[in-house]
Amino acid sequence: MISWNLISLALAASLVQTVSSAAVPSSSAVSSVVVPTSSTVTVSEPTTVTVLPTTIASSTAVPTTTTAPGTTSAPSTTTLVPSTTVPITSEPPTSTPVPSSFLLHPNGNTNKCLDVRGAILQNGTPVQIFDCNGTPAQNWVIAPGQGHVQLAGTGFCLDAGANPANGVGMKIWNCFDNLPAQDWFYTTDDRIALANQGFCLDLTNGSTANANQVQIWKCTDNDIFQVWTTSPGAPISTISSAPPPTTSTSASPSTSTAAPITSSTTAAVTSSLILPSTSA
């Protein structure tokens, strides 16, 4: 009986030994299995590393922003410089028109003109009224304000003589600067007055007959015989010293008697007058 108990105890001890020995490999197996799974986790790290190339690829978008070559449009702006210089070179021809002369008419009568008698270009030639005929002897250079009344294309000017007075006949003379006898003022009311002297170019006796020499007379209000209007003459470049015309042959005295003046009021040179548009 005792021996059987000993046998069963021995068997139990061996069983315990077997179970304990079997448990160790199983635990080692579990641990060994866990290690590979943990190693697979470390294997996943390369997959996260592969994300980096994608972010690097996004950085390759920089070349697309380096389309700054589009900023090379600057040459197109530089092409504007020659284009702006083109109109500048084309302007001078349009800004230099040929100067023109004028015809001078007594009180708007465009059939009659201020004329150099016989178109004789010499000192002392009388200035008269004559039918407008388009000859150089009737083309004058005159401008509003103070200055010469010059026969276009020549060096001769309208001259009132050394002693201006009522009834002094007009003539041409070589042009001189600062000469009182040639210093005229074309007023806003169409009068041609000697500057600062109170005398105006006057249609002698109010006559528009051919060869009537014009004169100076005291500037007077409402005197239609002191009104001189203009119309376009020939371009100055086309005016030359032509031979005397055969139509303007009659002579008149070097001095003339002025028509009597009924008004006792002397007008200022620059005063504004209300004047008729037709001659008497």
* 265/220 Cα distance (integer angstroms): 6
Fold annotation for 100-234 = Trefoil (Acidic Fibroblast Growth Factor, subunit A) (2.80.10)
Residue 11: the pLDDT is: 74
Residue 246: the pLDDT is: 36
Strand order in the sheet with 171-174: 171-174, 156-159, 150-151, 140-141, 100-106, 228-235
Residue 9: the pLDDT is: 72
Residue 16: the pLDDT is: 56
The full set of domain ranges for the chain reads 100-234
Residue 40: the pLDDT is: 42
Those residues of the chain that have pLDDT short of 70 are 1-6, 13-99, 237-280
49-102 pLDDT, tens per residue?
Answer: 444 444 444 444 444 444 444 444 444 444 444 444 434 444 444 444 556 899
